[in-house]
Amino acid sequence: MNVSEIRADYKYYLNKIKSDIREILGGGEMRRKELIDKVVLRSGLTKEQLADRSASGAMSLYRSIVGTALVKMEKYGDVAISSSGMVTLIKAPALIVKEAELAPYLIDHLKTRAYTKDELIKLAVAYFGADKTETDADEKAIAKLTSRLLPELTKRGKLRYIGGRYSIGSDSIVIKKPGSVYEEFIAYLNSKGGEFFENYSALLLDSFYKCAGMSVAACHVIGGSDDGGIDVMLKVSDWLGFSDKVLVQCKQKSSSFVTLKEVKEFVGAFYVEKGTRGIFMTTSRFHKDAAAVISSLPNIVAIDGAKLFDIAQNCGCGVRKENDACYVDYSFFGMQGPV
């Protein structure tokens, strides 16, 4: 293992180091320097490399990555570092998911299509973040609760069980929007890629603000590899003269949630670019922790696939409503139909 190999596999070594830090700390604490020394000893560097303390050596590079790992772990609440340099591992508390939270989630998810029990358990585990905790106890707890709830909800008429799959029952909440049209709309956006979604989001928000009676002085797509975490920027003002710099992040996702990490990165970029309003838009949904962070911020909002569909329908941007029925308006996208 040399300097070039470490640089090439930087992410691998960063994750390895984080794992080593958790293992070394266990339930105790340790001085920062001592911890770094112990982590370096696990690096796999040779005796000659460990003895080389030059700035360009492999040992110096590895120590710097350990320092970076500690900074990141402290930032995300994995460790605490005192002013005296003591590092303590922060163990996440056991995840508690109540029936009152899980039952509505299961019913809501089954509005789109039928799922097997195992599929629903997997979705619930990801949504509530049980797959991110330190042990599998949280996953087992959700699996057990889901396995108990599904037959109960079926017995009460909320769900039905046919051919090994659960779906919405006759006594469930009526779906307010036509599921097939919603699915068709989201599937179309997902099929067109990230750049298309960024441009569509800009057009949709421009229409939204104008429909709300506001003036749009600027609306630019900034997306790309150098976007700095901001995909769209708008400058809007109301009739009183108050103006806002609206910064937008767009995430086109077909099967996964927007993560807490993605939200934190956007929040950081939002404040760096000095926005006054922030919008995180996705064709998917937000992880529970990600949604909680956005909800705690007074000037940033989350727009998931369902809300995106509602805005598109209200503004006539790709979804049209006629005689209480709605459909995907492919002519809005300059097309005759799905491709």
Q: What are the pLDDT tens digits along the chain (339 aa)? A: 788 888 888 888 888 898 889 888 876 789 999 999 999 998 888 999 999 888 888 889 899 999 998 988 888 777 888 888 898 887 665 566 777 788 888 887 777 678 899 989 988 888 877 776 666 777 888 899 999 999 988 888 888 888 788 887 644 433 334 457 888 899 889 888 889 999 999 999 999 999 888 999 999 998 665 557 899 999 999 888 899 999 999 999 877 889 999 999 999 999 999 999 999 999 999 998 899 999 999 999 999 998 999 999 888 899 887 777 788 888 888 754 444
Strand partners, 301: 279
Contact between residue 275 and residue 246 where contact means Cβ atoms under 8 Å apart: yes
Q: What is the pTM of this model?
A: 0.52
Instruction: Return the beta strands (E) in 23-85 as ranges.
Output: 29-31, 79-81
The CA distance from 164 to 176, in Å, is: 26
99-168 against 179-333: fold identical = no
Element (H, E) at 44: none
CATH for 99-168 is 1.10.10
Separation of alpha carbons 319 and 97, rounded Å: 36
Which of 276, 193, 180 lies closest to 201, judged by CA? 193
- Per CATH, the number for 3-89 is 1.10.10.10
Class of CATH domain 179-333: alpha beta
Q: Distance between CA 101 and CA 128 in Å, rounded? A: 10
Helix axes 194-211, 179-191, angle to 10 degrees: 130
* Domain segments of the chain as ranges: 3-89, 99-168, 179-333
The answer to whether the beta carbons of residues 167 and 158 sit under 8 Å apart is no
